[in-house]
Structure 1
Amino acid sequence: MKAITIKQPWATLIALGEKQFETRSWQTKHRGPIAIHAGKSTDKDACNDSWIKSTLAEHGIKSYKELPTGVVLATAELVDCYKVETTVGHVSVLSNVKVVEGLEVAFGDYTEGRYAWELTNVQVLAKPLEAKGQLSLWEWNGDSK
Structure 2
Amino acid sequence: MKGKNHGNFTNPCLTMHQPWASLLVHGIKRIEGRSWPAPIRGRLWIHAASKVPDEETIKAMEEFYREIYAVNGITNLKFPQHYPVSRLIGCVEVVGCLRREELAAWDKMPEGVRLEALTDFCWLCERPQRLIIPFEMRGYQGVYNLQKKIYDAAVRGLSAIECPFPVKFPLPDTRDPFSLKPGSLDFCHSESKVVELDESSSLRSAIAGARAAATQFSKKDQNTIEKQGKSYLIRTNELEASPFKEVETSASSSDRISAANSPTLDNNEQTQSSLINGSSSGGEPFKIEQRRRPIVSSKLFAAAVRGLKPS
How far apart, in 2, do the equivalents of 1:48 and 1:32 lie?
Answer: 31
Alignment of 1:47 with 2:67, yes or no, is no
Within the candidate set 46, 67, 70, 1:36 is matched to: 46
Question: Alpha-carbon deviations, 1:38-84, whole Å to 9, x = none?
Answer: 111144232121615969x83462xxxx4100111111211111111
Count of aligned residue pairs for this structure pair:
130
More helix by share: 2
The offset of 1:18, in angstroms, is 0.6
Q: What TM-score results when the alignment is normalised by the length of structure 2?
A: 0.37
Q: CA RMSD in A?
A: 2.9
Residue aligning to 2:84: 68
How far apart, in 2, do the equivalents of 1:75 and 1:42 lie?
Answer: 20
Alignment of 1:16 with 2:26, yes or no, is yes
Greater relative CO, 1 or 2 (CA 8 Å, sep 6+): 1
Within the candidate set 107, 132, 139, 2:145 is matched to: 139
My pick for the range that moved more, 10-19 or 38-47, is: 38-47
More strand by share: 1
Runs (4 or more) in structure 1 with deviation over 3 Å come to 52-55, 97-101
Q: Which amino acid aligns with 1:51?
A: E
My pick for the range that moved more, 37-46 or 66-75, is: 37-46
Q: What TM-score results when the alignment is normalised by the length of structure 1?
A: 0.73
Distance 1:51 1:133, change over 3 A: same
Alignment of 1:128 with 2:130, yes or no, is no
How far apart, in 2, do the equivalents of 1:104 and 1:72 lie?
Answer: 28
The offset of 1:109, in angstroms, is 6.2
Is the Cα contact below 8 Å between 1:21 and 1:119 reproduced in 2?
yes
Distance 1:70 1:60, change over 3 A: closer
Unmatched runs of 5 consecutive residues or more in structure 1: none
Residue aligning to 1:117: 123
SS in structure 2 at match of 1:40: coil
Unmatched runs of 5 consecutive residues or more in structure 2: 1-10, 67-74, 151-242, 245-311
Alignment of 1:26 with 2:42, yes or no, is no
